[in-house]
Amino acid sequence: MASCRWPWRRCCSWRPAARSPGPSSPGRVGPPGPPSTADASAQMPYFNLVKSLTSAFPNRFHHSTSASCCHSRTQSGEQYSDPFKLGWRDLTGLYEDIRKELLISTTELKEMSEYYFDGKGKAFRPIIVVLMARACNIHHNNSRDVQASQRSIALIAEMIHTASLVHDDVIDDASSRRGKHTVNKIWGEKKAVLAGDLILSAASIALARIGNTTVISILTQVIEDLVRGEFLQLGSKENETERFAHYLEKTFKKTASLIANSCKAVSVLGCPDPVVHEIAYQYGKNVGIAFQLIDDVLDFTSCSDQMGKPTSADLKLGLATGPVLFACQQFPEMNAMIMRRFSLPGDVDRARQYVLQSDGVQQTTYLAQRYCHEAIREISKLRPSPERDALIQLSEIVLTREK
């Protein structure tokens, strides 16, 4: 069951920034002492905002709604200790059903496109989708059922996600994902691209079968966003303020758009009220951005065994994610490395050291907390239900996850 595959981060695997004691002595390896935080952040209002979150949020995020207990009770009185168990009730047979969508005669293409539908992913997106579907249905007319079309959105979201992973691994020349070899390493890049295309086309067919043009345009927007997000990632910005805006836009397009728009799609199918559609979208957007920010943190704080893929991967790909951008506020000498995309020998290790000696990880986590807080504020506008409360709990899980 999916819930068992999601290790919660009971304690942080990283420690609060060990600040450098002072200016570097000659020959000292690693970053020198940070400039005054106030000086650095004064140049950028955005960083001031994030700094102020330090006092606004405790280390472990607690929301203030009545749903902050860790158990949800369904209509039948059955108690669920985590949102994954609650969501999974509607997802039994998820992967078998996805494989049925991938009706392919060629043995090799079939094997490749089914490769990641093996139950080893977290199924985070389908879980959110079915919980959101139920929360909206209950809000609208107290209906307890997930419609077949809403469940299809859960499958389609997982298929679009998986197609993008297959393509992403080709672009990044990645060797491992979810603790196994990538499709491109086993079958080669050309076939991997085609396998990703095939999963995407099967998702499109399933989407068309729902027959709702609003929902079709909502989910096709995701595909455009994924491509544009990946494209944004190929470029970089010189100006530091632009760099952060660029990073957040990329984060939305690459990760949050799929979650936001899938949530919106099930809300459209379950309820005619545009206010509810906006709540669903905003919840998904904010949770999605937080999810990616924590992903970027885990690239620095987790070990590769836990992640099922190499860590420091972003630096190796030349990417400056949240922890790096915040660290650069304390250590402006990182700018040059960011601009050359960590391409000189030793850059990756040096940048990693800077990040770990800075507040970068902590600041990125605070920023993720802020997005989760916003997600909770949005979803709390819906009528109370176990599923709404599970979505609130999911926001906390996003922040405390270990993989």
Q: Which residues bind ligand GRG (CB under 6 A)?
A: 121-122, 124, 160, 163-165, 167-168, 171, 178, 196, 200, 223, 226-227, 230, 254-255, 292, 295
H helix or E strand, kind and range, residue 230 = helix 213-234
Closer residue to ligand GRG, CB minimum distance, 171 or 317: 171
Rounded Cα gap, residues 235 and 319, in angstroms: 9
Closer residue to ligand GRG, CB minimum distance, 297 or 392: 297
Give the torsion through C-alpha atoms of 330, 332, 333, 337, to 10 deg: 100
Residue nearest to ligand GRG (CB): 121
Closer residue to ligand GRG, CB minimum distance, 178 or 350: 178
Rounded Cα gap, residues 67 and 295, in angstroms: 25
Closer residue to ligand GRG, CB minimum distance, 35 or 318: 318
Rounded Cα gap, residues 338 and 328, in angstroms: 9
Q: How far is the CB of 251 from ligand GRG (least distance, A)?
A: 9
Beta strands in 63-140 (DSSP E): 72-73, 79-80
Q: How far is the CB of 61 from ligand GRG (least distance, A)?
A: 19
Q: How far is the CB of 226 from ligand GRG (least distance, A)?
A: 4
Angle, helices 347-357/274-301, rounded to nearest 10 degrees: 110
Beta pairing partners, 72 = 80
Q: How far is the CB of 285 from ligand GRG (least distance, A)?
A: 14
Q: How far is the CB of 211 from ligand GRG (least distance, A)?
A: 22
Q: Which residues contact 230 (CB under 8 A, 6 or more apart)?
A: 167, 168, 171, 254
Closer residue to ligand GRG, CB minimum distance, 125 or 388: 125
Tokens of 310: 């190499």
Closer residue to ligand GRG, CB minimum distance, 170 or 348: 170
Say whether 69 sits in a helix, a strand or coil: coil
Q: How far is the CB of 122 from ligand GRG (least distance, A)?
A: 4
